[in-house]
């Protein structure tokens, strides 16, 4: 992987690696002390905990795709609004509207604050017996 310098490039790489179901590549983007916060739990996950949930999500769906609707650069942080499109093995697609703040220092993601539509995330979980995305 080439050296990623901006938070926007890190966000692109994060989404591309999730779409490619490559949790090792996601882990390489994360700072060891990353905190990942979600609106549905109001709690922070560690790197290991987030990668475990992400792995469960990736294994539970046929395909994932991010449709970025807008992104704003805030310096060492970006805010992004997107739809996470999850295609189930049955072919059904569940679209989860979401918003993320991603912060980075020295080419590593240090914090993610993720707000997502909990009704759609619950629909994915119940349709698939999957962990909630995040």
The number of folded domains in the chain is 1
| CATH number for the domain that contains residue 62 | 3.10.450.50
The band of 18, judged by pLDDT with boundaries at 50, 70 and 90, is very high
Whether the CB-CB separation of 104 and 69 falls below 8 Å is answered with: no
The pLDDT of residue 133: 53
pLDDT at 5 > cutoff 50: yes
Q: How many CB atoms lie within 10 A of CB 36?
A: 23
In terms of residue numbers, what domain contains 51?
7-128
| CA-to-CA separations, 92 to 62, 85, 95, 97, 134, in angstroms, rounded | 10, 10, 10, 16, 20
The reported pTM is 0.88
pLDDT score recorded for residue 125: 76
Is residue 134 included in any domain, yes or no? no
* pLDDT for res 131: 45
Mean pLDDT value of segment 105-115: 96
Q: What are phi and psi of 102, to 5 degrees?
A: -125, 125
């Amino acid at each position: 992987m080439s050296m990623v310098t901006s938070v926007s490039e890190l966000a692109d790489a994060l989404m591309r690696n999730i779409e490619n179901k490559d949790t090792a590549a996601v882990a390489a983007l994360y700072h060891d002390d990353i905190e990942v916060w979600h609106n549905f739990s109001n709690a922070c996950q560690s790197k290991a905990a987030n990668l475990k949930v992400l792995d469960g999500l990736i294994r539970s769906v046929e395909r994932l795709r991010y449709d970025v609707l807008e992104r704003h650069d805030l310096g060492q942080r970006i805010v992004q609004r997107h739809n996470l499109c999850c295609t189930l093995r049955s072919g059904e697609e569940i679209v989860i509207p979401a918003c993320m703040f991603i912060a980075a220092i020295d080419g590593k993601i240090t914090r993610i604050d993720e707000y997502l539509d909990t009704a759609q995330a619950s629909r994915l979980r119940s349709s698939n017996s999957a962990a909630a995305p995040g």
